[in-house]
Amino acid sequence: MGVYKGSVAALVFFAAAIVCFTVEAAAQDRPRVIRSVSSRPINQPPAEAAPEQPAQPTQGNTTRQPQPLTNKIVVTPEPSLVKKTGESSPLTAMNKAAARRSVYSSSVTNNILLGIQSRLGIPYKYGSSGPNRYDCSGFVWSVFKDAGLGFERTSARSLWAMSTPVEGDDRYVFGTLVFMNKLGHMGIVADENGFYHASSSKGITYSPFKGYWEKRIVGFRRLDISVKITDPVAPPADTEK
């Protein structure tokens, strides 16, 4: 009986060993499944994909990269935003004064203005009436002649004698003649502030009345164009200084 139980136990052990060996062999024959482990935290939403860049034009098989902007951008303010700084010169002020009031018509006034502007800076020379040199009466004569107000070239003293005196505010109307230095010098009134003349030191220029010239003024006159002045004799020397 004891021998029989021992045999049965041996058979059971042997059978169990065979089963274990068969299971292990079968496990080795099955393919292994490897699961990838994501490094992203479980609760985080998926990352958004980067926007796709538009394709650049190509030449051959080479893709051109976008080029940086190299042109300098200059912003110009509108004219209405630029602050005006006032009159740039006495000539600008004279133009505005002449536009407000003048001895002559608008067309003649404009021609006188142009005649003065075109002669500014031309040197002085006694007895000359242009175009490269002027004395005081020669300057006045040439400007008026080019504006259509013709008369004979003559001296400042003769022009004084043949013109009409003016008083008060009329003295400073554009186109009025101003006489100085005992009738040895003259010029064209711009406005109440100054006049244009042929200066022996500066040539054709603008000078203010205030200061040097206000003490040398003899008077103001308006040229009567209806009177033809005939005095061909050489004008006396200017006595500006």
Residues paired with residue 221 on neighbouring β-strands, in sequence order: 165, 177
Q: Which residues contact 141 (CB under 8 A, 6 or more apart)?
A: 129, 151, 153, 154
- Residue in 170, 204, 179 with CA at minimum distance from that of residue 102: 170
Tens of pLDDT, residue by residue, the chain (241 residues)? 555 555 556 665 666 666 555 545 554 555 555 555 455 554 555 555 555 555 555 455 555 555 555 555 444 444 333 333 333 355 555 565 555 678 788 888 999 999 999 999 999 999 999 999 999 999 999 999 999 988 888 999 999 999 999 999 999 999 999 999 999 999 999 999 999 999 999 999 999 999 999 999 999 999 876 444 444 344 445 556 5
pLDDT of residue 151: 81
Using alpha carbons, list the distances in angstroms from residue 67 to 51, 57, 64, 71, 128: 20, 12, 9, 12, 68
DSSP per residue, 135-168: -HHHHHHHHHHHTT-------HHHHHHTEEE--G
Instruction: Give how far the C-alpha of residue 196 lies from the chain's centroid of Cα atoms, to the nearest Å.
Output: 30
In the chain, domain spans: 90-223
Is 90-223 in CATH node 3.10.105.10?
Answer: no
- Whole-prediction pTM value? 0.58
Using alpha carbons, list the distances in angstroms from residue 109 to 99, 101, 173: 8, 9, 11
Q: Report which secondary-structure segment, H or E, holds 94.
A: helix 90-100
Q: Which residues contact 205 (CB under 8 A, 6 or more apart)?
A: 120, 121, 196, 197, 199
pLDDT of residue 176: 95
pLDDT of residue 196: 97
